[in-house]
Every structure is written in structure tokens, then in C-alpha cells.
Amino acid sequence: MNYEYLFNIIHDKDRVRFGKNIEEKYLSDGLKRVKGVADILVFPLTTEEVSDVMKFAYENNISVTPRGAGTGLVGATISTTCGIILDLSLMNKIVELDEDNLTITVEPGILLKNLQAYVEERELFYPPDPGEKDASIGGNISTNAGGMRAVKYGVTRDYVRGLEVVLANGDIMNLGGKVIKDSSGLDLKDLIIGSEGTLAIVTKAILKLIPKPKKSISALISFESLHKGIDAVIKIIKKNANPTAIEFVEKDVIQNAEKYLNLKFPDIKGQAFLLLTFDGDEELEIESNYNKVREVTLESGAIDFILLNKKEDIDRTWQIRGALVTAIEAVSEQEPIDIVVPINKTADFISYTKVAEKKFGIKIKSFGHAGDGNVHLCVIRDGMEEEEWNEKSHLLLKALYNKGKELQGLPSGEHGIGLNKKPYFLEVTDRVNIEYMRKIKKVFDEKGILNPNKLYE
């Protein structure tokens, strides 16, 4: 293939890199394990460049793998075939802040942390808050990222008002807009959200903002066992106390992260913890909310309830929460899972992981978003030999995904399917659903050039 033509599209030589000039990090993702292949890496600066690259790829049947910040955990951005990696990180501008309509229009490469800082300086708020702040908004949209604040505020999908996308053949399509309501034909916008770059390239997004809550505090609640903690969650939710986040974690996972970061978790007795935040404008409202939670958790057997008021305590505690996965990874290779089950099945699912640990002889650490049933598991390799690990972990994962299904759950709450979860996704998803996903893929990308071999393919 003569890729030289790309210089007619992208005039800046620095933004077109060939073969061995492609740094390794561009061939992998947030797990940094699997290494993909690619002929060329391009960094477009404009929608027109993206469109022209896609036209070239379309005409020449070249595969194109869109890439945001490469922090994904499921291999979705790993290029599996020779072809183009289309890295959107340089398209990272804020196009417009509209304070009347409370929207911000951004290019896809902007990092979440930069977007959050920009709006919060202006007393505005972009609620979706996945753990990795160095992810791009384009990546967040393409995986429908969730995060800590989903309990109160919802996920990325809920904040995407409009999209500009480039299709496989290079055509540009606009979806939604600044309007709040939309019953104007088929909902193509939501089809693109969460499609992990398999249907189109997101080149612009209009995001919904809200006024920034004036106050935010956290509460830490401890229990004798994880099971007791999880049992309390459903009671908290029924109390209508409007928490922003409800995370759960066991003591040994915390200790590991404390060591890794060399930071101290608040001093509290117990084997398992719930970490909550409450936000709002009125002190009284927040107080009434956390008091409801204090009452109901102490009634249902919590050992202790402490309020984190000081910014420094709050930041440190959440920093530890944020580092759980990385701290585990520092000790051992692990396979991250984010199965989601109905909230009242969370405890059952976690109980099953304890059974599965024994049955398959592999350690599992569980923690995550208790408030929305999105359990995060780390399946830990712990030095196991390659062959044994591959075989055993596959059986364990299969069992876990099937358990999730049995409990009326789904394989991914926020990370997506990508490459790594594809076999399990195909196993637990009805044939007819996969069939229609594939047919829709054909509508958008009949040549199969956009992020091939992922998800449902």
C-alpha cells in the first residue's frame, strides 16, 4: 500500500509516522499487555483531515483504528491488523462554552481532567467521573464511560447532547445538538455512543453541563465483612439519601494501595468499607442526607461511620480509592472485569466470586461501584505459569460471566468489550442481538475497515 498519499492530506510530517517510527505505547492500551500491529500512525488536526483519511482508507480497503488517550482496559483501541492508527489526541480544543444553554462543545482528544478543570473554574460541572482522568472525551464517549458519580448523575451517555462524526466512507454526520429533547427520527446518536470506534469516528461533541454543586463531603462506613457492607447498600438507596457515589472495598485491597502510594487511609476499624460522597448547594440538605445514611447503616450492623470534612482527608481517601487497580497491577498481572448486575444481586455476585476463587484456584479482588451494581473484579495471576494461567483464567472468567448473566447482569457496565471480553460477550449475549449488531456494523462500515475484530465481530 502506498501510504505516501497521506502526505497530501496531512502536510505536517510529524503527524504521519510509519512502521518502526511508531512508538510502542501506540500499539497497546491502558493494560499495556497486548501489542498490536499497524503500518502507520496519523494525528489529524481537523474534521476535514479525518474525513480525508477515511476516504483514502475506504477507497483502498485499509483498516483504521481510532485512538483516544489509550487508557482503555479491554483492548478496544489496539490495532489488530496492518493499517492506520488514527490518533485523535491533537484534536483537543474547546470549541465553545455556551453558558446560556449549559453546554460545552469540544474536540474528542481533550482529556477529561482538562475538561473538568476548565468548567469547574467557571462554577460549572461535568458530572461523569471515570477513575482515569487522563482519558479523552472521545474515548469516554466511545466506551460510554461511567465512574464514581454515576449513582447520582448517570454516565457519559447522559451528558452527550450532540455529536459530529466521520463515517467509514469519509462522510460527515451531525447528530443531536444543543436541544434538550429529541424525538426526530431514529436515535443514531446513542448508537454511536459506546460503539468503541466500530461505527464512526467522533470528531466533535456537545456536552451537557450543570451548575457546580457548592459543597461536597465524603463518608466512610466500616463493616465486619464485605457481605454486610453490600447488604447495607440497598438500604441506603431506598432511603432516598441521594448519594453522589457509593464505592465498596475490602481492607486488604486498601492496604495494598496504601503501601503503593505511601499514603494513610483514615483510621477506622473493620474488614470492609463503603465510601460515599454527598454533594449539593445546601449544607442542611447534605446533612439530612448523610444522617439518613448514618442511621440506616448503623442499624444494619456497621461498625463505624466517619465523616470526611476536610478537603485534604477527602482527597487522600479518594486518591487511594483511585489507585486500587494500579496498586494491584504493581504486584501482579491481573485481568480487570466490570460485570454489572441489578443492585440487589451485587452481594450474590460477590459471594460467588469467593466460591469461584476456591474452585478455580485463582485469587480475585473485588471492589467498585456498589451504588449501581457495577462490580469491579481483578482476577490475579500471582506468578502463575503462562499456560496454566491462560487455561484456568479463561475457565474462571467464563464462569464469572455466566454467573453475571444468571443474575440478570451484563458483561460490561462501563469499560466496554473490545478484544479482551469479546469471547465472553459472545458467550452470554443472545444470538439475535449479536446478529443485529453485525448487520448495523455493515450499514455503517460495509467494508469492515473501522476498528476490525472488536466487540460483536
User: E strands of 70-214, at which residues?
Assistant: 83-87, 94-98, 103-106, 124-125, 160-167, 172-176, 200-208, 210-211
- The entry of ligand FAD, a copy of itself, none near residue 340 (CB within 5 to 8 angstroms by kind) is a copy of itself
112 binds, among ligand FAD, a copy of itself, none (CB under 5 to 8 A by kind): none
Whichever of 132 and 338 has its CB closer to a copy of itself, that residue is: 338
Question: Could you tell me the smallest distance in angstroms from the CB atom of residue 131 to ligand FAD?
Answer: 3
Strand, coil or helix: what is 123?
Answer: coil
The reply on whether position 52 binds a copy of itself by CB under 8 A is no
Q: How far is the CB of 388 from a copy of itself (least distance, A)?
A: 29
Q: State how far the Cα of 420 lies from the Cα of 438, in Å rounded to an integer.
A: 18
- Ramachandran bin of 412, using left for φ above 0, alpha for ψ from -120 to 50, beta for the remaining angles: beta
Distance CA 362, CA 35 (A): 25
CA distance 443 to 213: 42
Strands of the sheet containing 200-208, edge to edge, are 94-98, 103-106, 200-208, 160-167, 172-176
Part in contact with ligand FAD (CB under 6 A); list of ranges 69-77, 95-103, 212-220, 231-239: 69-77
User: In whole angstroms, what separates CA 264 from the centre of its chain?
Assistant: 27
Residues in 180-199 that interact with a copy of itself by CB under 8 A: 180-188, 190-191, 193-195, 199
* Nearer to ligand FAD (CB atom), residue 165 or residue 303: 165
51 contributes a contact to a copy of itself by CB under 8 A: no
Q: Does residue 99 touch a copy of itself according to CB under 8 A?
A: yes
Among 28, 47, 51, 77, binds ligand FAD (CB under 6 A): 77
Residue 152 CB, nearest distance to a copy of itself (Å)?
12
Nearer to ligand FAD, 88 or 370 (CB): 88
Question: Under a CB-based contact definition with an 8 Å cutoff, are residues 217 and 286 in contact?
Answer: yes
Burial group, residue 14, by CB count within 10 angstroms (0-12, 13-18, 19+): exposed
- CB under 5 to 8 A by kind: which of a copy of itself, ligand FAD, none does 73 bind? ligand FAD
* CA dist 195 → 29, 133, 138, 163 (Å): 17, 21, 11, 13
Footprint on this chain of ligand FAD (rule: CB under 6 A):
29-30, 65-73, 76-77, 88, 108, 130-132, 135-136, 138-140, 142-143, 145-147, 196-197, 201-202, 325-326, 414-415, 451
